[in-house]
Structure 1
Amino acid sequence: GPTMNAFEAAEKKGRAGELQKELEELFDSQNKSQAATSIPATFLRVTATV
């Protein structure tokens, strides 16, 4: 998925550690739970048949 692609690109540039840190900071800032992990996210799935 997109996160794996980002890590692959970051590893090629020697920046995987920076990406890891940025993602952890983002997850921590968005986590709405003290005792578990709860990150609200909007998800829309569209299936079209032609």
Structure 2
Amino acid sequence: MDNVHLAALQAKHAGLEARIVNELQRPAPDPSALASLKKQKLRIKDEMTRA
């Protein structure tokens, strides 16, 4: 995997983490939204570790 692709994955991973934190800070976090964001984040992490 080239550095550009890895950097893009890392940026997406960080963006998803920020969205998760924002959702958790809401008065009533949406469990389905959190689950979806966490799944996306895990997929990206798996792709980064496969390289």
Range into which the TM-score falls when normalised by the shorter chain: 0.3 to 0.5
Q: How high is the TM-score relative to the length of structure 1? A: 0.43
Q: Relative CO higher for 1 or 2, CA cutoff 8 Å, sep ≥ 6?
A: 2
The higher radius of gyration belongs to: 1
